[in-house]
Amino acid sequence: MVLLLALISGPGGSSTALSYGFRHSILRPRVIPFVVVGVVAWALVELGRTQRQTVRSAVMGRLEGVRRRTGGVIPRNRLTRSALPIAALVVAVAIPPFLNGYWQTVLVQEMGIFTLLALGLNVVVGFAGLLDLGYIAFFAVGSYTTAYFTGRLPVLPPFTLNPFWILPIAILAALIAGVVLGAPTLRLRGDYLAIVTLGFGEIVFSFARNKTDVTNGDSGAFNIPHFSIHTAGIHYTWGGKQLPYYWVLLVFVVLIMFLFRRLENSRVGRAWTAIREDEVAAAATGVPTVRYKLLAFAIGASTSGFAGVLYAANVGFITDTNFVLQQSILVLVLVIFGGMGSMWGVLVGAAFLEWLPEKLRGSVPPSDRFIYFGLLIILVMIFRPQGMIPSRRRALEIRQAEAGIGEADALGLPKEVQ
Amino acid sequence: MTAPAAPAERPALDDAVIRVDDVTLRFGGVTSLSEVSLVAPRGEVMAVIGPNGAGKTSLFNCLTGVYVPQEGTISLVRPDGSTARLNGRKPYSVTRLGVGRTFQNIRLFNALTAVENVKVGADARGKAGPVSVMLGLPRMRREEHAATEKALELLSFVGLSGRHDALASALSYGEQRRLEIARALATGPQVLLLDEPAAGTNPAEKNDLARLITRINAELGTSVLLIEHDMKLVMSVASYVVVLNFGRVIAAGAPEQIQRDPAVIEAYLGTTQDDEGTHGDAADD
């Protein structure tokens, strides 16, 4: 199994040296980390079942004790609750200017964009409990809208705009795409919805790839201009530097988190939780379920479209391969890894998982990078299925599911009316 | 004569809260409800009883929009005498018109606290949309405040005043039953549908429940429709009883009258082993 993994991930063979791939995958020392990792993972899963329970409950008990004690010392008021976010914001403002160009690029194009995507998907998956496997399609809508209105596609727009002014158009376009997909399909539940969204993602991808007279196919759209403002006496161009984009991203991530937090703690968030927990009971309690699911879909889609504009303007080049199924799954992984339904979890999880492969570059063979990435995710899912920083509601649902009570998540089958 | 002529026993239209006329519900070849007609009187507690599989919960699911009957009409009669057709509406819309319900197997939102569960019900009366929520408009704040107030009030009404911050899943079985009733009451129903509220409760809890149902009826003025197997509970709270068997109304009337009704006794004790025979007798007479 481990050898097979090493072989699959190893270098390919060639016609002149038939055993090249084999020799370099398995006979080189490269195989050692694989074997070690495999054995450790197996041992953890197979042997540690009881120990794992003890360790987990001991740690949880300890944490609970600490919380109870500090709960009395540190009053849970507005000040202490906002201390951590403010500290995080200070770090987010203070550190990036001192990073080199490479890490600033990673910060914007990987961590920033994907954090935005994950925050949007979190509304759909985490809040409303709808499994969306075609999420990247809305990102594509945003990107291609940008390419269209900057005149970089074979079909020319009636007027060209700077990407900055395309933001509202793209948000609207993605929102409409979300509603168009959602309106007929959100009556479906669980697995069925997932399959439909998967199909939608593939349609958008196939369109981008094959409708070459509209999208340029796999040659993509290039030379998409950077953001610039020339209005009301302000003249500013973002240019090729990453830092200005980072500030835009930071402002919007903070704003989005603020707005989503308000939604979460309002009747909208309650309605989403109710739908996620028990759709039949939610409807019987007066929640218009389809409308609220559509709302979640539209909010997620517009966030994704927004990220698409930022990406297109920043990188300046988009092609169909940016919008493959794997990207949808990656965003979903970021959400689950961080903690479904928890915005801080999603933020930290997305930033960390996007940072990790870049950090591994240079320290492990390039082709192995995503194996460590995968391993980390497997370990987290085994030992902390609720994610790095779980939301209170979600963590509880997972504990209940383990105990066999109630529906666990978007994948759970609906309970029938009895 | 094994069954009384049901129509003669019906209350007059002007004091009805729900009217069911000739409702037939089929699942493929199986007829779950067959030409069911009944009237739930306003301001009273009415019980729907019948053996297992008689179609009681199917009837509730038709009343609340979960199932759509193939034939017949179901209407809600408002206090001013105007009627609203219920069949064909979505469940949430039926609830918003004024029909609250609980479930046979408790269906709470387990990851929400008790007060949040009730607030989901109270939200049905609110109007604030997602935009006013995101902007934090004063109207939204007022509604949120009003929902909290109403939820706390209802929690103390059902006897859960100290438990409002407990998660629904952390409550005892009896408490969960009462929380579910509070959640249904928060939607502001004219009629409350309780599907076997006493299932799985102990005798003391049954007494509390009977008192609660009477109080809901007397203090809140809410009409109650109750499915229940526990005859002692039915007889102590209901002023009117409808008996279903094989998807048909076989008797309707005051509790004492029902207890003496030969068709009801036959349905419960099964004097005829042959299903077809029982069915025919009840229907034809």
The confidence score (pLDDT) of residue A221 equals 81
- Report whether pLDDT(A211) > 90: no
Distance separating alpha carbons of residues B119 and B163, to the nearest angstrom? 14
The confidence score (pLDDT) of residue A22 equals 62
The confidence score (pLDDT) of residue A2 equals 58
pLDDT tens by residue, A31-45: 677 777 777 777 776
pLDDT tens by residue, B137-166: 888 888 899 999 999 999 999 999 888 888
Is B132's Cβ below 8 Å from some Cβ in A? no
- Report whether pLDDT(B227) > 50: yes
- Report whether pLDDT(B124) > 90: no
Is A255's Cβ below 8 Å from some Cβ in B? no
Contacts of B91 in chain A (CB under 8 A): 280, 283-284
| Burial (CB count <10 Å: 0-12, 13-18, 19+), residue B276 | exposed
Contacts of B143 in chain A (CB under 8 A): 267
The confidence score (pLDDT) of residue A215 equals 82
Average pLDDT, stretch B259-273?
75
Does A277 contact B183 at a Cβ distance shorter than 8 Å?
Answer: no
pLDDT band at B192 (very low <50, low <70, confident <90, very high): very high
Where is average pLDDT lowest: A231-235, B157-161, B203-207? Answer: A231-235
DSSP string computed for B17-78: EEEEEEEEEEETTEEEEEEEEEEEETTSEEEEE-STTSSHHHHHHHHTTSS--SEEEEEEEP
The confidence score (pLDDT) of residue A67 equals 60
Average pLDDT of chain A is 80
The confidence score (pLDDT) of residue A35 equals 74
Name residues whose C-beta falls within 8 Å of residue A321's C-beta, 6 or more positions apart in sequence: A218
The confidence score (pLDDT) of residue A292 equals 93
Greater confidence (A333 vs A58) lies with: A333
B positions 223-242 inside 8 Å of A (CB): none
Chain-centre distance for alpha carbon A116:
8
The confidence score (pLDDT) of residue A135 equals 93
Average pLDDT, stretch A213-227?
80
CA atoms within 13 A on the CB side of A354: 29
pLDDT tens by residue, A128-178: 999 999 999 999 999 999 999 888 887 777 877 888 888 899 999 999 999
The confidence score (pLDDT) of residue A356 equals 85
| Burial (CB count <10 Å: 0-12, 13-18, 19+), residue A51 | exposed
Greater confidence (A309 vs A229) lies with: A309
pLDDT band at A227 (very low <50, low <70, confident <90, very high): confident
pLDDT band at A1 (very low <50, low <70, confident <90, very high): low
Q: What is the pairing mode between strands B71-77 and B16-27? A: antiparallel
Does B128 contact A283 at a Cβ distance shorter than 8 Å?
Answer: no
- Report whether pLDDT(A62) > 90: no
Greater confidence (A232 vs B75) lies with: B75
- Report whether pLDDT(A413) > 80: no
How many Cβ atoms sit within 10 Å of the Cβ of residue A75?
10
Amino acid at site A50: T
The confidence score (pLDDT) of residue B6 equals 43
Distance separating alpha carbons of residues A277 and A262, to the nearest angstrom? 20
Nearest CA in chain A to B110: A277
Is A152's Cβ below 8 Å from some Cβ in B? no
If residue B260 lies in a helix (H) or strand (E), which one and from where to where? helix B255-260
Structural Rg of chain A based on CA atoms: 23
Contacts of A289 in chain B (CB under 8 A): 92
The confidence score (pLDDT) of residue A285 equals 93
Greater confidence (A93 vs A240) lies with: A93
Tokens of A229: 């403002």
- Contact indicator for A386, B71 with CB cutoff of 8 Å: no
Candidates B92, B116, B167; nearest CB to A270: B116
Average pLDDT, stretch B27-48?
90
Amino acid at site A320: D
Average pLDDT, stretch B173-184?
93
Contacts of B147 in chain A (CB under 8 A): 267
- Report whether pLDDT(B69) > 80: yes
Candidates A268, A284, A396; nearest CB to B111: A396
Nearest CA in chain B to A261: B134
What is the SS3 string spanning chain A? CHHHHHHHHCCCCCCCCCCHHHHHHHHCCCHHHHHHHHHHHHHHHHCCHHHHHHHHHHHHHHHHHHHHHHHHHCCCCHHHHHHHHHHHHHHHHHCHHHCCHHHHHHHHHHHHHHHHHHHHHHHHHHHCCCCCCCCHHHHHHHHHHHHHHCCCCCCCCCCCCCHHHHHHHHHHHHHHHHHHHHHHHCCCCHHHHHHHHHHHHHHHHHHHHHCHHHHCHHHCEECCCCCEEEECCEEEECCCCCHHHHHHHHHHHHHHHHHHHHHHCCHHHHHHHHHHHCHHHHHHCCCCHHHHHHHHHHHHHHHHHHHHHHHHHHHCEECHHHHCHHHHHHHHHHHHHHCCCCHHHHHHHHHHHHHHHHHHECCECHHHHHHHHHHHHHHHHHHCCCCCCCCHHHHHHHHHHHCCCCCCCCCCCCCCCC
Chain-centre distance for alpha carbon A9:
25
Instruction: Tell me what ipTM this predicted complex has.
Output: 0.85
Contacts of A406 in chain B (CB under 8 A): 110, 169
Share of residues in chain B with pLDDT > 70 (%): 89
Average pLDDT of chain B is 85
Q: Where are the beta strands (DSSP E) in chain B?
A: 16-27, 30-41, 45-49, 71-77, 83-85, 99-101, 191-195, 223-227, 240-245, 248-253
pTM, entire model:
0.82
| Burial (CB count <10 Å: 0-12, 13-18, 19+), residue A416 | exposed
Does A405 contact B95 at a Cβ distance shorter than 8 Å?
Answer: no
pLDDT band at B117 (very low <50, low <70, confident <90, very high): very high
Tokens of A106: 């990673």
Amino acid at site A373: F
pLDDT tens by residue, A342-368: 888 899 889 888 888 888 877 777 777
- Report whether pLDDT(B74) > 70: yes
pLDDT tens by residue, A254-301: 999 999 999 998 999 999 999 999 999 999 999 999 999 999 999 999
Is B141's Cβ below 8 Å from some Cβ in A? no
The confidence score (pLDDT) of residue A24 equals 63
B224 phi/psi in degrees, rounded to 5: -125, 135
The confidence score (pLDDT) of residue A174 equals 93
CA distance A403 to chain B (A): 12
Share of residues in chain A with pLDDT > 90 (%): 26
